[in-house]
Amino acid sequence: MAREFTSVGVVGLGTMGAGIVEVFARNGIDVVAVEISDAALDRGRANLTGSTDRAVARGKLTEADRDALLARVTFAVGLDALHSVDLVIEAVPEHLDLKQRLFAELDRVCKPEAILATNTSSLSVTEISVATARPNQVVGIHFFNPAPVMKLVEVVRTVVTSADVVADVEALCGRLGKVDVTISDRAGFIANALLFGYLNHAVDMFESRYATREDIDAAMKLGCGLPMGPLALMDLIGLDTAYEILDTMYRRGGRDRRHAPVPLLKQMVTAGLLGRKSGRGFYTYERPGSPKVVPDEQTPTTTEPAVSDAAVTKIGIVGSGTMATGIIEVFAKAGYEVVSVTRGAEQSAKVFEAVQTSLNKGVVRGRLSEADRDAALGRINWSATLDHLADVDLVVEAVVEELSVKKALFASLDEICKPGVVLATTTSSLPVIEVAMATQRPADVVGLHFFNPAPAMPLVEIVRTIRTSAETIATAQAVSATLGKTGVVCGDRSGFIVNALLFPYLNDAVRMLEASYSTTDDIDHAMKLGCGYPMGPFELLDVVGLDVALAIQRELYLELREPGFAPAPLLEHLVTAGYLGRKTGRGFRDHTRR
């Protein structure tokens, strides 16, 4: 039978510590909240009362419940106040020597049967535990910020942690209304091990001026449905905290370069640019601690495109697949005249039927009037020859992802289209420059990577090559805005922004599973509940297709040549065995029974 915890102690009353105090007190458990000095205690008390007062103001807590919650908390200076508690959780800064000294003192002060827990997000729980004479009673209980809101708790067992201790803590998490995932003591646990490689990669993109901070963040929010962009999230976490986590993971996790902190990160920490807590990080904030971003020297002076798209009225779209069909619909609804070029009348009929069906669904769902549907269909002209693109202002190709096919197509477009026409490829993985150099006008060639389904997804990646002109980029931005899309500009590298950041994260999750570190369910729970992701990595891999993920990861590895980007062998084996995800009914999960 699980142990009954009647009182707990929390050491360290910063944002995280105060949040942990609130979690326990909300659930009827008496808490002894400890700090190192009277001043620190007053700050901790203010953190707790501020959080509970905000909960009352938002209607999530009654005044009576708030008062009862606060009555369960005893504030004290010094560890001696913890002599009779059943469990202690520390939430002090992420320095191993500090935590080891603290645990040695807790071992002396606390009663023999008390469990000692660390909220560390990256340090070795084992190394912390050996500072005590009771390592079998030391466990990691990693809450996520803000602790009162986030549902996930990572329970970290060492090789000597008692099974009873782990079971008791798991039961306690359930009492607190949390979802726990129990894992072994490895660098970064689950969530941070997957999250921080992705965040570090985003900082590297920004440092190399591959894309702006705004475009990187917008790409991941709009392209993946994430609650925050990676650079804004780094500011929220704190760049000093992020640096310490990455550095620890690099040293403890096999020195994977994906976790080696990008030099810019260390420079910003040294300069005191720590994110929201200091008022400035990747963004500048109204004041320290404020979430409100204010303009700074890096903020674009305008969000409007550099030129209008007034000269672009007629669009040519080449292709007959799902992506081409969606793009035709997007341009036609936006008021452009469209020339759809397919291989023949039969293909044109299929594309017309698909566009009409999609527009009809829009009418049924109340998103489109019948008049607007009819007007959009009336703007589309159907053709089986490229010659009808001679008078268009912009061509968008959406043909098969084969370089030879695209190069041949662009060579033909170069001969047919009038001078100054922007030629755009929707490729998601091929080098745009190779397509551009198949023409005599590489300055007019740009990548326009729409996301599937094109009518619904609000993002377009605008890919500039080393030869793309500023005017071509500006036109692409203006057209994207007219379509109601957010156009993010990036360089011509494998994966662009979204795929370059997304698929290595997915690959890391496969490696974690491959190492038997955790289960697919726990890894998915960790990323959804701990990071607010709309889908866990294995859910997403099954939707995207394991073969697609493998192909993209191979391209990234071939370009970057970093060992950390090499496709996980498990992913290779599953694809070879025909486990491709939902499309085949089997992937990381069995979809045939659903």
Q: In this structure, what CATH number is given to the domain that contains residue 525?
A: 1.10.1040.10
Same structural domain, 379 and 481: yes
Beta-ladder partners of 383: 341
Q: Is residue 438, in this structure, part of any structural domain at all?
A: yes
* Residue 208, token pair as written in the block: 């190399």
Same structural domain, 286 and 341: no
Q: Which of 412, 402, 345, 438 is nearest to 551 (CA)?
A: 402
Same structural domain, 428 and 521: no
Question: What confidence score (pLDDT) does residue 485 get?
Answer: 96
Same structural domain, 150 and 203: no
Q: From the centroid of its chain, how far is CA 142?
A: 20
Question: What confidence score (pLDDT) does residue 303 get?
Answer: 47
Is-catalytic flag, 121? Answer: yes
Residue from 47, 51, 119, 121 carrying the catalytic annotation = 121
Q: Is residue 593, in this structure, part of any structural domain at all?
A: no
Same structural domain, 359 and 484: yes
Same structural domain, 461 and 528: no
CB atoms within 10 A of CB 323: 21
Same structural domain, 354 and 222: no
- Burial (Cβ within 10 Å: 0-12, 13-18, ≥19) of residue 59: exposed
* CA pair distance 497, 482, nearest whole angstrom: 22
Largest CA distance in the chain: 86
* CA pair distance 302, 276, nearest whole angstrom: 24
Query: Could you give the number of structural domains in the chain?
Result: 4
**Does residue 112 have a cis peptide bond before it, meaning omega lies within 30 degrees of 0?**
no
Same structural domain, 224 and 272: yes
- Burial (Cβ within 10 Å: 0-12, 13-18, ≥19) of residue 440: exposed
Q: Determine contact, residues 496/156, Cβ cutoff 8 Å.
A: no
Backbone angles phi, psi at 142, to 5 degrees: -95, 100
Q: Is residue 588, in this structure, part of any structural domain at all?
A: no
Q: Is residue 471, in this structure, part of any structural domain at all?
A: yes
Question: What confidence score (pLDDT) does residue 256 get?
Answer: 79
Last residue of one domain, picked from the residues 140, 168, 184? 184
Backbone angles phi, psi at 90, to 5 degrees: -100, 145
Residue from 119, 129, 142, 480 carrying the catalytic annotation = 142
- List the chain pLDDT tens, one digit each, 594 residues: 678 899 999 999 998 999 999 999 999 999 999 999 999 999 999 999 999 999 999 998 899 999 999 999 999 999 999 999 999 999 998 889 999 999 999 999 999 999 999 999 888 999 999 999 999 999 999 999 889 999 999 999 999 999 999 999 999 999 999 999 999 998 889 999 999 999 999 999 999 999 999 999 999 999 999 999 999 999 998 999 899 889 988 887 677 788 899 999 999 999 999 999 999 999 999 999 888 999 888 877 654 545 556 689 999 999 999 999 999 999 999 999 999 999 888 888 899 999 999 999 999 999 999 999 999 999 999 998 999 999 999 999 999 999 999 999 999 999 999 999 999 999 988 999 999 999 999 999 999 999 989 999 999 999 999 999 999 999 999 999 999 999 999 999 999 999 999 999 999 999 999 998 899 999 999 999 999 899 999 999 999 999 999 999 999 999 888 888 999 999 999 999 999 999 899 999 887 665
Question: What confidence score (pLDDT) does residue 279 get?
Answer: 93
Q: Is residue 356, in this structure, part of any structural domain at all?
A: yes
Name the helix (H) or strand (E) containing 46: helix 38-57
* CA pair distance 2, 9, nearest whole angstrom: 19
Last residue of one domain, picked from the residues 469, 491, 513? 491
Question: What confidence score (pLDDT) does residue 564 get?
Answer: 85
* CA pair distance 590, 98, nearest whole angstrom: 47
Question: What confidence score (pLDDT) does residue 306 get?
Answer: 52
The three-state secondary structure class of 339 is: strand
Q: Is residue 502, in this structure, part of any structural domain at all?
A: yes
Same structural domain, 218 and 279: yes
Q: Which of 22, 177, 21, 185 is nearest to 90 (CA)?
A: 21
Last residue of one domain, picked from the residues 162, 184, 206? 184
Same structural domain, 239 and 321: no
Q: Determine contact, residues 266/217, Cβ cutoff 8 Å.
A: no
Q: Which residues contact 57 (CB under 8 A, 6 or more apart)?
A: none
Same structural domain, 101 and 248: no
Same structural domain, 267 and 221: yes
Q: Determine contact, residues 298/213, Cβ cutoff 8 Å.
A: yes
* Residue 237, token pair as written in the block: 């976490």
The three-state secondary structure class of 363 is: helix
* CA pair distance 261, 258, nearest whole angstrom: 8
Torsion of CA 138, 177, 235, 553, to 10 degrees: 80
Beta-ladder partners of 486: 459
Q: Is residue 592, in this structure, part of any structural domain at all?
A: no
* CA pair distance 473, 485, nearest whole angstrom: 15
For residue 169, the number of C-alpha atoms closer than 13 Å in the C-beta half-sphere is 31
Is-catalytic flag, 142? Answer: yes
Question: What confidence score (pLDDT) does residue 307 get?
Answer: 55
- Taking CA atoms, 523 is separated from 112, 152, 179, 370, 500, in Å, by 34, 11, 12, 45, 21
Domain extent for 162: 7-184
Is-catalytic flag, 154? Answer: yes
Q: Which residues contact 69 (CB under 8 A, 6 or more apart)?
A: 22, 25, 26, 52, 61
Is-catalytic flag, 404? Answer: no
Q: Is residue 213, in this structure, part of any structural domain at all?
A: yes
Torsion of CA 69, 72, 77, 81, to 10 degrees: -150
Residue from 47, 192, 499, 507 carrying the catalytic annotation = 192
Question: What confidence score (pLDDT) does residue 311 get?
Answer: 84
Name the helix (H) or strand (E) containing 307: none
